[in-house]
Structure formats: C-alpha cells, structure tokens
C-alpha cells in the first residue's frame, strides 16, 4: 500500500487516501497520521510539540490492538507508512465525544463544584456534541437521537458496552506503567463498509488524563496549563520511555 493525497487536516491528525500497488485508491481505507500539532481551548491556542505524533500513535496503536482482542470493533487495521501513522477503516463519524470518568477532574469539577479526585464506580459516562461553534455542549442520548447525531438507539447500547471494555483494558494497561487513568475521551463512527459502530480516532495523551504515583500529570494537561514546549515534549516522551522499558 502507498500513501495517496491528503483528505483532511484536523487539529492534531491528518488523513490520507491509500493506494494499492497499481496506484488505484483503495475503498473504505485511509491512512491516519498523528502529527506534532497540539491545540487547546477549541483550537484557540495552537503549537507544535516535537515527538508528540509518534508518542500518540505508539500508545494508541498498542491500546487499539488490546481493545480489539477484548471484543471492541475498532478502525485500526495495520501500521502506516511512517512511524507516526496507521492504516484504518474509513468511518462515517458520529459527532459525539464520549467521555469516561473514573475520577472527577477538569470541567466536571468546574461544572458541578465537585472536589478533584472524587472516585466514580462504575465508570461515569458523558456525551458532548462535537461542535466547536457551540463549544462541545453536553448532550443526553435522547437529544442526540432526536436531532440525528446517531442512527439508532441500539447504537448507544453498543457504545456503553464498548466503554466498559475500553476502560477496563486501558486502566490495567496504564496501571502496569504505574499510572492512573483519571478520565478519557473517545469517538465512534460507522464503518463505511459494514455500517457497524466502531471505535475511531485515537486513545492517547491528547485524549485522556494520566497521573503518576505522585499525582503529576502525564498528559496534555501540561500544555493546557501553559508549560514550555520542552516540558510538554518531555511528558509525551516519558510515556514512550515507559513503554519501551516494558519490552
């Protein structure tokens, strides 16, 4: 397979067509490149952090493989043409961000006046409407179905089932690294070839909160707090070093 023309460039990732050996476009398959681009505040603050793309692609690939082994249908197919990319199934994205919270943090605490670190068991799941214009507002299942953000009520059952598996697998994965999974945000879509609900996008330091044994952040929160590019890069590389040490 070969990389074709660019399809879309988002805040952090770029998508490309995929070509066969004869140069023809493969249907329902794309290449996803995790870049060094980073943003916060609905994209208002933007920067480039060296090594972030490789770090995100590494941890996301490892986790997506584990999710699949445990029964989650994902878009991941194989490694890409660069160390920062992967070949994935093309999806009709569901415009919802699905948030799983093991502990209270960030906007949840600000929204409800809850103390940081309050534990949730079972996993607390929230949905936001993925729309920068409206600043990703919270939305419930009935409203999302009523305005056509998702095709069928049964699809929510699949998402809740997958969220439980994703959380258990990711929590154990990071626990082995000495890290606590505080919360995470994932996205789902419909496989263009089968119309099945599948886990898409990524699971990385951009999309979850991780804390070490001292309560220090090992994720994108470092960037949100305005730390230097070097310090942000070190946080992403820290996880890479942890994963390499496990091999």
The H or E element that residue 199 is part of is strand 197-200
Find the mean pLDDT for residues 24-38. 97
Mean pLDDT throughout 103-126?
Answer: 97
Q: Would you place residue 189 in the very low, low, confident or very high pLDDT band (cuts 50, 70, 90)?
A: very high
**Domain co-membership, 113 together with 230:** yes
Residues 64 and 114 in one domain: no
Does residue 15 or residue 46 have the better pLDDT?
A: 15
Residue 39 CA to residue 164 CA, distance in Å, equals 28
Using CA atoms, how far apart are residues 193 and 36, in angstroms rounded to an integer? 30
Residue where a domain terminates, one of 69, 89, 109? 89
CB of 18 closer than 8 Å to CB of 3: yes
Q: Are residues 120 and 174 in the same domain?
A: yes
Look at residue 76 and tell me whether its pLDDT is greater than 70.
yes
Looking at the fold, whether 152 and 191 belong to one and the same domain comes out as yes
Give how far Cα 48 sits from Cα of 11, 27, 149, Å. Answer: 11, 32, 32
Are 123 and 164 in a shared domain? yes
CATH code (residue 79): 3.30.200.20
Residue-level pLDDT at 40:
87
* Mean per-residue pLDDT of the chain: 96
pTM (two decimals): 0.96
Q: How many domains does the chain have?
A: 2
Q: Are residues 205 and 119 in the same domain?
A: yes
Residue 247: the pLDDT is 63
Instruction: State how far the Cα of 170 lies from the Cα of 137, in Å rounded to an integer.
Output: 26
Measured CA to CA, the distance from residue 78 to residue 161 in angstroms comes to 24
Which CATH number is 213's domain given? 3.30.470.20
* Domain identity same for 170 and 85: no
Q: For position 246, what pLDDT does the model report?
A: 79
Asked whether residue 147 falls in the same domain as residue 113, the answer is yes
Q: Are 18 and 25 in contact (CB under 8 A)?
A: yes
Do 125 and 231 lie in one domain? The reply is yes
Determine the Cα–Cα distance for residues 222 and 24; give it in Å rounded to an integer: 43
Which of these three, 89, 112, 132, is where a domain ends?
89
Host domain of residue 112: 92-246
The residue written with tokens 């793309």 in the block is 53
Please report the pLDDT score of residue 41 as a whole number.
Answer: 78
22/102 same-domain check: no
User: Do 138 and 222 belong together in one domain?
Assistant: yes
- Where does a domain end: 89, 104, 131? 89
Same domain, 178 and 164: yes
């Amino acid at each position: 397979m070969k990389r074709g023309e660019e399809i879309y460039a988002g805040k952090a990732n770029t998508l490309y067509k995929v070509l066969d050996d004869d140069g023809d476009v493969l249907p329902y398959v794309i290449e996803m490149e995790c870049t060094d681009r980073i943003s916060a505040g609905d994209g208002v603050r933007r920067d480039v952090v060296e090594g972030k793309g490789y770090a995100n692609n590494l941890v996301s690939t490892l986790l997506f493989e584990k999710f699949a082994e445990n029964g989650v249908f994902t878009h991941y197919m194989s490694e890409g043409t660069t160390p920062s990319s992967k070949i994935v199934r093309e999806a009709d994205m569901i415009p919802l961000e699905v948030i799983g919270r093991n502990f209270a943090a960030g906007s949840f605490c600000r929204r409800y006046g809850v103390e940081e670190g309050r534990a949730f068991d079972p996993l607390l799941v929230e949905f936001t409407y993925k729309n920068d214009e409206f600043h990703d507002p919270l939305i419930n299942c009935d409203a999302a179905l009523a305005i056509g953000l998702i095709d069928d009520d049964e699809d929510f059952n699949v998402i809740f089932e997958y969220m439980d598996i994703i959380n258990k697998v990711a929590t154990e994965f990071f626990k082995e690294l000495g890290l606590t999974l505080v919360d995470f945000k994932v996205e789902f879509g419909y496989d263009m070839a089968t119309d099945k609900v599948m886990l898409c996008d990524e699971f990385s330091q951009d999309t979850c909160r991780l804390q070490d044994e001292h309560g220090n952040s090992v994720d994108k929160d470092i960037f949100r707090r305005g730390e230097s590019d070097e310090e942000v890069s070190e946080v992403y590389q820290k996880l890479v070093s942890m994963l390499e040490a496990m091999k």
